[in-house]
Amino acid sequence: MQRRSLLKLGLVSGVVLAVAGGAAVLLQPGLEQGRLTAPARALFASLGRAVLQGTLPADPQAAALAVQGMVERIDTLAQNLPPHVQAELSQLVGLLCTAPGRLGLAGLTPAWQNATEAQVQAALDGMRYSSLAVRQQAYLALHEIVGGAYFSDESTWTVVGYPGPLAI
């Protein structure tokens, strides 16, 4: 194969993958009418278990309820974001909920709900320490959303030693 043919093949393949990825995000958004889709809920539940490891309750049922509550608070957050921010969050989450997006952006092979906490943590570390700014920004957004939603519940404050607001 000549170099010119190889370059054409690479260019065409890249365009096809980009179009397919863009179409997948449009067909499977992360938010529908401002609410988290089922795949987005699975994504945030998996992220919550990985990011909050060590702060979740030790009891598995209590931990599952805490993660479920966090996902509900993320859903409430998403509903109250300005439309342009909702669109950006929907694109990010929609991309991460597709296999090519999950592999390309997070470097995670199994689906979010099938990945172990260690695999999700490794994927997040890959994003966090990536040389690509877009991966770092995606990590920061996901980390802040998960942490903010979890610790916005008053019952979680004691885990980090926060006594609550001062009485005035």
Structural domain boundaries in the chain: 28-154
Q: What is the pLDDT of residue 14?
A: 64
CA distances in angstroms from 61 to 3, 17, 45, 57, 58, listed in the order given:
58, 41, 14, 9, 9
* 10-residue averages of pLDDT along the chain (168 residues): 69 59 61 94 98 94 96 97 95 94 94 96 97 95 97 90 88
Q: C-alpha angle with apex 52: 49 to 54, nearest 5 degrees?
A: 105
- Residue 140 contacts residue 124 (beta carbons within 8 Å): no
From the CA atom positions of the chain, what is the Rg in Å?
Answer: 18
pLDDT of residue 131: 95
Name the pairing type of β-strands 31-32 and 35-36: antiparallel
Tokens of 159: 């885990």
Residue given tokens 């938010």 in the structure block: 31
Residue 25, pLDDT score: 47
Q: Identify the helix (H) or strand (E) that includes residue 35.
A: strand 35-36
